[in-house]
């Protein structure tokens, strides 16, 4: 994903795990914590594993449901086991049958207890003669409350004439549209038949064919095994345009030209990534540009990254998100974190590769600017997040993990890899990463496996500049270790100096060469303004630079956080327009948070949220609610 899931996402996942066994007297607590276990699934993956999934689904916009069959091809690991437990959330199950050797036998099933974070376990009793390999045929339907699916009425799309539906499965939401073993530890191949209203096109994280005729019935194959969080579907009035030989973009026709312009460098990014880290193993690489309510910057669904339209700035200034999603084709999709606690292996490594790609396709100055902005956000995160959650691989199993901040995985993970790169040299580190991807391709990996592999290939070298203990400081300790790289950018230093000088009336706005600046420099200028600044000066700045009316979503985000924090009420109308224009969590949740915590405007934040929430994805709405609530505590 890109970028920084707002803390509440993982708060939602992580709450309510107490993996301690209490004996009669409450004093004796046995710690059974197992870092390699996925605590976010009910599935008994130690007894059965899924190898293949076949979906046959009708897409019903009126009922806001997917309806049909999921067939899971299962392999038994435990000869004595007689029940398969799957993850579900808000699914209705009509029937379950066990298919083997050409016969179908109905199976008894029941739901276990609901859990707010994990959903509801579906427990299937296997008929007595069930062998080592069998299919489970499950007839089911989703609910309009599915946390993965958003059903947009026509008025919330760019074209305004057709409805649109899309999924967001990461981290624990695939179970709200398919009954399955919903854990990154299990990889499956899949195929699907999807029936839609005739005028619409379905796409999936699979072998989309740009030339598919619009028939209302679509077939997909995903021959490479993927973890469940990469299952993805979208249906809408979608059209395709090529970006290069192996790359292209799907979106509504109204956004197609702008998307082709903005993402013109996608093919070059793909070729560069292959040159650096080995072959792209997935066939085509396409983008799907969704309506504004898509909760993230992007989601790395394999072969088809889902992308927010907030990147369409008109100047290609926000395309690092594309480099990020593409990089996930290696870090995340090819080599996958074993559990969400190891998420830094997905996100930190991807952020590192994103920067490397951006250096080649654009230039190092631009990337240094982005590094500085990320670093600044990381320092803020480290102030906000309790120490145990500041480790790259925190213990994610008890109630303290409510404070888990996904952002640490991104920027601290990136810094760790930059630290290793500096220590061993870029060339040697590239060789290491390429062999890492080869070694663990189509597998899952824990932090400990990564450290072992790092030790074997780099740390154990004669005269290694880094010890295992130093590496473990990054993965297990809070804060930043000594020797952590500090990103620098002369451009941003100059922007920050001008912010102070202008605030102190030493220079005029007219003296600031903002026309020559990158959006990142403008962002840094705004963030560097001193705490005490008169409303008149904020007004001057807004009038001169048009900040409240900016078309750059990241500048808007930065500005409106300041507007809310400083209670610059003259721009509240535009602030609310920003909250209505975007549904991407990163762009709006912190603005709501700033408004709710400025001491005066909590009620106003709630009112604005009530007015806008109908257009938000359920995941985003959950973040905002949690953020406003936190602000009140
Ligand atoms: Zn990501």
Q: Give per-residue pLDDT as tens, 197-246.
A: 999 999 999 999 999 999 999 999 999 999 999 999 999 999 999 999 99
How many other CB atoms are there within 10 angstroms of residue 481's CB atom?
A: 16
582 CA → ligand 1 middle, Å: 19
611-623 mean pLDDT: 91
What angle is formed at CA 529 by the lines to CA 527 and CA 534, rounded to 5 degrees? 130
563 CA → ligand 1 middle, Å: 29
15 pLDDT higher than 50: no
CB 624 within 8 A of CB 592: yes
Whether the predicted model's global pTM rises above the 0.75 cut: yes
410 CA → ligand 1 middle, Å: 8
First-residue to last-residue Cα distance in the chain? 29
Q: Is 325 a catalytic residue?
A: yes
100 CA → ligand 1 middle, Å: 39
504 CA → ligand 1 middle, Å: 40
Comparing 18-27, 95-104, 370-379, 444-453, the range with the smallest average pLDDT is 18-27
Residue 30: the pLDDT is: 60
531 CA → ligand 1 middle, Å: 32
Helices 618-632, 7-14: crossing angle, 10 deg rounding: 90
The mean of the pLDDT values for the chain is 93
Residue 56, strand partner residues: 69, 193
Residue 594: the pLDDT is: 96
Residue 10: the pLDDT is: 44
CA proximity to 134, closest of 88, 94, 102:
102
Residue 22: the pLDDT is: 38
Dihedral of the CA atoms 369, 373, 374, 379 (nearest 10)?
140
Residue 499: the pLDDT is: 98
- Structure-token match 């001057």, residue found: 540
Report percent pLDDT > 90 for the chain. Answer: 88
- Structure-token match 């293949």, residue found: 52
Report percent pLDDT > 70 for the chain. Answer: 94
SS (H, E, C) 233-288: EEEECCEEEECCCCEEEEECHHHHHHHHHHCCCHHHHHHHHHHHHCCCCCCCEEEE
485-500 mean pLDDT: 98
Nearby residues of 19 by Cβ (< 8 Å), 6 or more positions away = 31, 32, 33, 39, 397, 398
What is the DSSP annotation of 379-417?
A: HHHHHHS-GGGGSSS---SSGGGGG--THHHHHHHHHHH
587 CA → ligand 1 middle, Å: 16
500-511 mean pLDDT: 97
DSSP-derived letter for residue 99 is: E
Residue from 229, 410, 436, 568 carrying the catalytic annotation? 410
299 CA → ligand 1 middle, Å: 7
Q: Is 33 a catalytic residue?
A: no
Residue from 252, 262, 300, 325 carrying the catalytic annotation? 325
149-166 mean pLDDT: 95
630 CA → ligand 1 middle, Å: 25
Residue 404: the pLDDT is: 60
């Amino acid at each position: 994903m890109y970028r920084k899931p707002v803390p509440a996402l993982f708060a939602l996942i992580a709450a309510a795990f107490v993996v301690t066994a209490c004996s009669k007297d409450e004093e004796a607590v046995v710690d059974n914590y197992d870092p390699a276990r996925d605590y976010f699934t009910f599935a008994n993956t130690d007894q059965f594993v899924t190898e293949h999934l076949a979906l046959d689904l009708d897409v019903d916009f009126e009922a806001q449901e997917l309806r049909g069959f999921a067939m899971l091809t299962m392999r038994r690991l435990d000869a004595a086991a007689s029940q398969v437990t799957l993850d579900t959330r808000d699914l209705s199950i009509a029937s379950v049958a066990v298919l083997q050797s050409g016969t179908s036998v109905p199976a008894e099933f029941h739901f276990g207890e609901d859990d707010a974070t994990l959903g509801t376990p579906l427990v299937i009793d296997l008929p007595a003669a069930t062998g080592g390999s069998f299919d489970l045929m499950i007839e089911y339907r989703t609910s309009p409350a599915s946390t993965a699916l958003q059903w947009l009425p026509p008025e919330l799309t760019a074209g305004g004439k057709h409805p649109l539906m899309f999924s967001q499965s990461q981290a624990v939401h695939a179970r709200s549209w398919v009954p399955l073993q919903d854990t990154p530890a299990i990889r499956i191949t899949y195929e699907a038949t999807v029936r839609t209203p005739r005028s619409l096109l379905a796409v999936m994280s699979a072998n989309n064919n740009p030339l598919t005729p619009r028939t209302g019935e679509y077939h997909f194959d995903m021959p490479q095994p993927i973890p469940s969080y990469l299952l993805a579907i979208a249906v809408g009035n979608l059209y395709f345009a090529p970006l290069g030989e192996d790359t292209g973009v799907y979106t509504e026709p109204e956004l197609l030209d702008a998307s082709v312009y903005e993402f013109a460098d996608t093919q070059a990014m793909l070729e560069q990534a292959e040159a650096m880290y080995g072959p792209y193993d997935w066939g085509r690489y396409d983008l799907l540009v969704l309506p504004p309510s898509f909760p993230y910057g992007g989601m790395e669904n394999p072969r088809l990254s889902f992308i927010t339209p907030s990147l369409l700035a008109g100047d290609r200034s926000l395309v690092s998100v594309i480099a990020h999603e593409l990089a996930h084709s290696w870090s995340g999709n090819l080599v996958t974190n074993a559990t969400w606690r190891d998420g830094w292996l997905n996100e930190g490594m991807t952020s590192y590769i994103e920067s490397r790609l951006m250096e080649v396709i654009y230039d190092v100055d631009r990337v240094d600017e982005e590094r500085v902005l990320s670093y600044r956000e990381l320092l803020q995160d480290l102030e906000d997040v309790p120490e145990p959650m500041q480790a790259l691989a925190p213990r994610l199993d008890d109630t303290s993990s409510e404070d888990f901040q996904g952002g640490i995985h991104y920027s601290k993970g990136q810094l760790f890899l930059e630290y290793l790169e500096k220590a061993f040299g870029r060339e040697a580190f590239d060789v290491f990463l390429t062999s890492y991807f080869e070694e663990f391709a189509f597998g899952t990996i824990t932090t400990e496996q990564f450290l072992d592999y790092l030790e074997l290939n780099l740390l154990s070298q004669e005269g290694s500049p880094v010890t295992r203990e130093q590496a473990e400081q990054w993965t297990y300790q809070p804060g930043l270790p000594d020797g952590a790289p500090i990103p620098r950018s002369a451009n941003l230093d100059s922007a920050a100096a001008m912010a102070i000088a202008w605030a102190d009336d030493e220079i005029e706005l007219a003296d600031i060469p903002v026309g020559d600046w990158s959006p990142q420099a403008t962002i840094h200028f705004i963030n560097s303004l001193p705490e005490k600044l008169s409303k008149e000066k904020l007004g001057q700045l807004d009038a001169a630079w048009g900040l409240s009316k900016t078309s750059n979503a990241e500048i808007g985000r930065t500005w409106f956080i300041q507007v809310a924090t400083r209670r610059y009420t003259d721009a509240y109308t535009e602030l609310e327009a920003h909250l209505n224009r975007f549904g991407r969590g990163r762009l709006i949740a912190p603005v709501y948070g700033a408004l709710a915590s400025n001491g005066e405007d909590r009620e106003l934040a709630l009112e604005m949220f009530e007015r806008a929430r109908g257009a938000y994805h359920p995941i985003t709405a959950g973040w905002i609610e949690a953020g406003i609530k936190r602000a009140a505590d």
